[in-house]
Amino acid sequence: MKAGESAKSLNARTSARRASALRWESLCRQCGVCCYEKRYTGIFSLYTDLSSPCRHLDTKTRHCKVYESRFRVCGDCRKMTIIHALFASYLPADCGYVQRYRGLFKKRRD
């Protein structure tokens, strides 16, 4: 808690942060495509090798088996960011983050 902050405002801040995290996560369509090995085709160009899933991915349900601890247990797991959403070449066009952010970018340009 910051100095001078009441328990009520701390709770409000925590709830707002949780709600924002949930909104961010809700953009994921849970296709699991970003949970496969990424390989380079050139210096900066990555693609997804759909024959090599992350060992923590349940390929039937397409859900992560270690979701809560994924960044701790999997060195290759990448946190989704707006930069990834806008520029990562390995994300599929129908990824919820790609659609949201590249779509917004495109709308502004049109």
Considering only 77, 86, 100, 102, the residue that binds ligand SF4 (CB under 6 A) is 77
Report the distance separating Cα 4 and Cα 54, nearest Å: 46
Element (H or E) spanning 80, and its range?
Answer: none
Scanning residues 25 to 54, which ones bind ligand SF4 (CB under 6 A)?
A: 28-35, 54
Task: Quickly tell me which residue has 């970003």 as its tokens.
Answer: 34
| CB nearer ligand SF4, residue 10 or residue 50 | 50
Burial of 97 (C-beta count, 10 Å sphere; 0-12/13-18/19+): buried
| CB nearer ligand SF4, residue 5 or residue 76 | 76
Per rule CB under 6 A, is residue 102 in the interface with ligand SF4? no
Per rule CB under 6 A, is residue 100 in the interface with ligand SF4? no
Best CA proximity match to 56, nearest among 84, 37, 29: 37
Residues lying near ligand SF4 in the complex (CB under 6 A):
28-35, 54, 56-57, 64, 66, 70, 74, 77, 80, 91-92, 95-97
